[in-house]
Amino acid sequence: MIIINVAPSIAMAAPLSAMAAPLSDSGQDKPFDPGQVGVCIQSGPDAGKLLEAARKQLPSARELGVGEWRVIGEVCPREKFFPTSVLVSPGATYEISAVGLWKDQWIRTGPEGWWFLPFQPFNRIPWRRMFVLSGSVGPSLDHAFVIGRQTTWRAPMLLPGGMRNELQLFPNDWGSKYNNNRSLPASQGGPMRVTILRKA
């Protein structure tokens, strides 16, 4: 798990390369745990620059073989599209599961999010629960889908290609409200941890 806490004048980060091993090119018939990957910028004026620098240390994005998996040690709820280094294969089937808590302003919630119908039409995936863990193919909502605690998802056959196929994660929130979202430490039930397994 990588957490980058950014204060106005102080920034600390553990090297991502120490936490994430490359995906296995062998043993396609059983899951391979490549380690944890995660980047979370909490706040601060330089958060964008620090996140971009941290992303460059992530393992190279590539497709998972059948039976391979990737663990995301922390999904940052402030990010509208959080990278996973997993390229989606057209037509492939994935099982995506999540544990942990994160915070929508003052509301602590798990991957299933919370329900308040008057707010939900304005979510990035309209009418779905507030803050439910969601995914997309690339930084676009064209192929956005709800994950929650666990889902089996089949990727579309027609995808943009290349890095635009990277699986992205995010809490389903209003597009203008991500600045008040917070990751939580283990002492408060966090962070949000996600496992991505390719099944077929």
164-181 pLDDT, tens digit per residue, is 999 999 999 998 989 889
Lowest mean pLDDT among 16-20, 82-86, 104-108: 16-20
Concatenating the DSSP letter of every residue in 60-95 gives PPEEPPTT-EEEEEE--TT-SSEEEEEEPPTT-EEE
Q: Pairing state of beta strands 166-171 and 133-137?
A: antiparallel
Distance CA 99, CA 80 (A): 19
**At 197, phi and psi to the nearest 5?**
-120, 125
* Protein fold of 61-198: Jelly Rolls (2.60.120)
CB 68 within 8 A of CB 134: no
Burial of residue 51 (number of CB atoms within 10 Å: 0-12, 13-18, 19+):
buried
| Phi, psi for residue 162 in degrees, rounded to 5 | 65, -145
Amino acid at the residue 196: I
Q: Give the confidence band of 132 by pLDDT, cuts at 50, 70, 90.
A: very high
Say how far apart CA 96 and CA 39 lie, in whole Å. Answer: 19
* Short-list 55, 10, 12, CA closest to 37: 55
> What percentage of the chain carries pLDDT values higher than 70?
71
Q: What is the largest CA-CA distance in the chain?
A: 49
pTM: 0.77
- Model pLDDT for residues 17-39, shown as the tens digit of each residue: 323 333 333 333 333 333 445 55
